[in-house]
């Protein structure tokens, strides 16, 4: 397999996670960040990588196949546009944009891969959930709970675009089109951004709920799927999976059977995602630009309804 020539735009803590993975699976040519402090951290670990504070200079000097844009969402669409105009495939980290029209404008680039960074689709525990989902029969409800870490006020957004959007695309992947949205939010720190959100998604017969919170000082990522034949609970952090079915629900002592799976070795979802972005064909890739637009549209509708 011929290694792709890659770049990372944005060298903060998550951008450096992209850098670490690209070093292993591609030929990382360059890193771009307007913050010299971030670039110094990169150079201290990877001396052979070219660094830039200006994306135009990087695109002028480097021959690149693919790039990750890992910056505040307000500038992701413009940086992506500059890359795709050069024929470079782009992974746009979520939430991709703060305004829907900014990413809808990217649909005109038909022959370039523009992939949302929907990392939880590549979490092995979610893949296992999809594999065992038919055993639950007709789905009744999905409940998602996602808490932490801290407010990103510099990004000019609240918890819905930071955390809730993960579970919006996951629930939609399971249940299909969202028919209606209702939401309530709390603003603890200021009046401009929500710090906690409770979202109800109507999928027709099945219903979804999402509880997101970056005010409570902890980290929590779980999903509960309940169907006519059983339930599945997954933990995105520990990658633990539990399937519960009823054996005998009559009498005073109903009996259930639990099947629990805990991985011997945790797999890094980001590594799986980036490998798919770089090397999978279009049929293998799990998410595309249209999926990202749809998830962002729902998230923005939540914010609008909760004001």
Neighbouring-strand partners of residue 198: 184, 211
What's the whole-model pTM score?
A: 0.94
Residue 1 is predicted with a pLDDT of 72
Q: Give the pLDDT confidence score for residue 62 in this predicted structure.
A: 97
- What integer pLDDT is reported at residue 34 of this predicted model? 95
pLDDT confidence of residue 253 = 77
Name which of 209, 245, 239 is nearest 134 in CA terms: 245
Cβ atoms 263, 241 nearer than 8 A: no
The pair of three-digit structure tokens given for residue 8, joined into one six-digit string: 């990372």
Could you tell me which residues come within 8 angstroms of residue 212 by beta carbon, excluding any fewer than 6 positions away? 146, 147, 159, 160, 163, 164, 167, 196, 197, 199
CB-based contact 31:22 (threshold 8 Å): no
Element (H, E) at 96: none
Residues 6+ apart with CB under 8 A from 294: 169, 172
Q: State CA 201 to chain mean position distance.
A: 18
Q: What is the 3-state secondary structure (H, E, C) of 97-129?
A: CCCHHHHHHHHHCCCCCEEEECHHHHCHHHHHH
Burial letters for 240-252: b for 16+ Cβ neighbours within 10 Å, e otherwise? ebebebeeeeeee
Using the Cα atoms of residue 251, residue 253, residue 255 and residue 258 in order, give the sign of their dihedral: positive
| Under 8 Å between Cβ of 293 and 100 | yes
Residues 6+ away with beta carbon under 8 Å from 224: 141, 142, 143, 144, 231, 232, 233
What residues of the chain score a pLDDT lower than 70? none
Task: List for the chain the helix, strand, coil content (%; round to 5).
Answer: 35, 30, 35
SS3 call for 203: coil
Return the number of other C-beta atoms located less than 10 Å from residue 282's C-beta.
7
Beta strands of the chain (E only): which ranges? 5-9, 27-32, 50-52, 66-69, 89-93, 114-117, 139-147, 180-186, 196-202, 207-213, 220-227, 231-235, 240-248, 255-261
Domains within the chain, CATH numbers bracketed: 5-117 (3.40.50.720), 121-306 (3.30.360.10)
Nearest-angstrom CA–CA distance, 237 and 88: 32
For residue 294, which phi and psi values (nearest 5 degrees)? -65, -45
The per-residue DSSP string of 214-240 comes to SSSSS-EEEEEEEESS-EEEEETTTTE
CB 275 within 8 A of CB 284: no
């Amino acid at each position: 397999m011929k290694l792709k020539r890659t770049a990372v735009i944005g060298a903060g803590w998550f951008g450096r996670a992209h850098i670490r993975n690209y070093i292993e699976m591609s030929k990382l040519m360059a890193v771009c960040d307007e913050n010299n402090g971030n670039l110094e951290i990169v150079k201290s670990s990877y001396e052979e990588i070219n660094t830039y504070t200006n994306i135009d200079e990087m695109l002028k000097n480097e021959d690149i196949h693919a790039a990750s844009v890992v910056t505040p969402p307000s500038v992701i669409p413009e940086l992506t546009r500059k890359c795709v105009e050069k024929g470079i495939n782009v992974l746009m980290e979520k939430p991709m944009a703060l305004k829907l029209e900014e990413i809808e404008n990217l649909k005109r680039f038909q022959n370039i891969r523009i992939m949302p960074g929907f990392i939880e689709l590549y979490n092995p525990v979610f893949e296992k959930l999809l594999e065992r989902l038919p055993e639950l029969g007709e789905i009744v409800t999905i409940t998602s709970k996602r808490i932490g870490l801290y407010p990103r006020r510099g990004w000019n957004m609240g918890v819905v675009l930071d955390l809730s959007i993960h579970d919006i695309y996951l629930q939609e992947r399971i249940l299909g089109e969202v028919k209606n949205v209702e939401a309530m939010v709390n603003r603890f720190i200021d009046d401009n951004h929500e710090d906690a959100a409770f979202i109800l998604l109507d999928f027709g017969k099945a219903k979804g709920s999402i509880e997101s919170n970056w005010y409570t000082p902890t980290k929590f990522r779980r999903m509960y799927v309940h169907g006519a034949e059983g339930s599945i609970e997954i933990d995105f952090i520990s990658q633990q999976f539990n399937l519960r079915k009823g054996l005998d629900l009559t009498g005073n002592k109903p009996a259930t059977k639990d099947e629990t799976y805990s991985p011997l070795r945790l797999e890094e979802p980001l590594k799986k995602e980036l490998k798919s972005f770089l090397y999978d064909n279009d049929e293998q890739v799990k998410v595309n630009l249209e999926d990202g637009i749809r998830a962002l549209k729902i998230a923005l509708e939540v914010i609008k309804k909760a004001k």
